[in-house]
Amino acid sequence: MSVTKGNQPTAAARRSRTVLVSFLGAIVRKMGNWMPIAGVVELLTELGLDAPSVRTAVFRLKQRGWLVSETRAGVRGYALTPAALEALIAGDEVIWHARQPADLGDGWCFVNFSVPDSARALRRQLTAHLTSLGFGNIGSAVWIAPARMLSAAQRAIAELDLTEQCAIFVGDYVAGQALPTMVRGGWDLDEIDRGYQEFISDYEQEADRLGAAAVIEGRHAFVTYLAVIDRWRKLPFRDPGLPIEVLAEDWSGPAAVQLFERMVMILEGRALAHAAPYWSTQSRTAEGANGADALQRMS
């Protein structure tokens, strides 16, 4: 098992987990919400992952309630659970359609919470949830996001059973510190923009090359597609989708979104076509079958 001292996951284990989640969302759902474990291990090793790390990542997601063992046509595999599907669907709007700039006229959602020291773990969880939803911290236990995030914030707070410890407001920003200044104090917009710029730098030339190619080999399409998805899905979750009025004129988000959508258009169909044969009952190699047996023993 790929862990370091203290059972902390290694970089390889963390990458296997994030790539597997990307794979579940981008490939497995398109294949009927079920995956043959032998084929999946073989497919994901094409991305440079090692088979034991992939099996461990699958096992961890099974423990989290995302996967359940299911054999189809004599082939061992795993089906996505309702919890996994709900989580993946919740991320779709952000990952696939990005954070479109909010309308400044819709106002803001403010969250203030008071969680006692005896529940520090819950406080950290709430902070992590709000951050992942795009909230920025503008004061002691005061978080802010565009008003459209109200329902998402309410769900996150309710899931942690902290509703009684929180106060949620929606309204306009009327006066005081200049709004762009306040926004820059709540979010590290330079870092978010840098992430978009790096994505553009890493994939712009590849998009041009693929767009001009007469033929794109299936394995390359699959590997590149999963790499793009896995790289991209982390970026919009850090972007609060702020109104354009408070963003710099050279904000890189829109250009990065266009590039991502272009890569998906070029690669998605070819990647799915490359993956599809692994769902066949004939796709189980001896090595893959042994890998499936090993994973079953872990389970």
CA distance 259 to 261: 5
Per-residue confidence (pLDDT) for residue 263, from 0 to 100: 96
Cite the residue boundaries of each domain of the chain with CATH code 1.10.10.10. Answer: 5-85+278-298
Per-residue confidence (pLDDT) for residue 5, from 0 to 100: 45
- 228 against 175, higher pLDDT: 228
- Domain 5-85+278-298, CATH class in plain words: mainly alpha
Distances (CA, A) of 37 to 14, 75, 281: 19, 8, 12
Cite the residue boundaries of each domain of the chain with CATH code 3.30.70.240. Answer: 108-171
Cα–Cα nearest to 250, from 299, 205, 188, 189: 189
Cα–Cα nearest to 260, from 285, 297, 225: 225
> Per residue in 65-109, pLDDT tens?
999 999 988 889 999 999 999 988 878 877 766 567 888 989 999
- CATH architecture of the domain 108-171 equals 2-Layer Sandwich (3.30)
> Per residue in 119-154, pLDDT tens?
778 888 888 888 888 889 888 888 999 998 888 888
Taking the model in full, what pTM does it have? 0.80
Report whether pLDDT(290) > 60.
Answer: no
> Per residue in 159-189, pLDDT tens?
888 888 888 899 888 888 888 888 888 888 9
> Per residue in 44-73, pLDDT tens?
999 989 899 999 999 999 999 999 999 988
* Three-class secondary structure of residue 176 per DSSP: coil
